[in-house]
Amino acid sequence: MRAMTRRATVGAQSTQTMAERTELVQSTQVDMRVRVHTNPLAQADSSIKFQLVSDGFTQEDPGTTFFSSSIGESAEITSATPVGTLLVTTITTKLGAMVALQVVGEQGVNVDAGLKPELSVDLIFKSS
């Protein structure tokens, strides 16, 4: 996964799409596993959230992104999340033909530093 080192305005939120146009083909379930290798979030009002969204990419309009709101449960890391944590989220509803993985960083109002954790994410696609 590429690093997300964008500096957000204090008290702001930043969304980065890490993977898109991921075809589900015959998948009926997606497991998202997030591992926390380091956690520099010192303020309780800062967080990093991983979420899947439906991706409505079309060849007719390839320059435009068509994303839904978050589908299923997201995985969220806060200052209280210890190093070594494994977050597992299973999504079985609202699966379309394609999904995108997004990371949402929320910069706390009490901190003026970038969010630079070391995290890894696996998406496991399953069919029944």
Q: Kindly report, residue by residue over 45-102, the tens digit of the pLDDT.
A: 788 899 998 888 877 887 877 888 788 888 999 888 899 999 999 988 777 788 889 9
Domain boundaries, the chain: 13-126
Residues found in the chain? 128
The pTM assigned to this predicted structure is 0.76
CATH code of the domain made up of 13-126: 2.60.120
For the segment 97-119, what is each residue's pLDDT rounded down to a tens digit?
Answer: 888 899 988 877 655 555 577 88
Q: Distance between CA atoms of 56 and 48, rounded to whole angstroms? A: 24
Buried b (16+ CB within 10 A) or exposed e, 7-25: eeeeeeebeeeeeeebebe
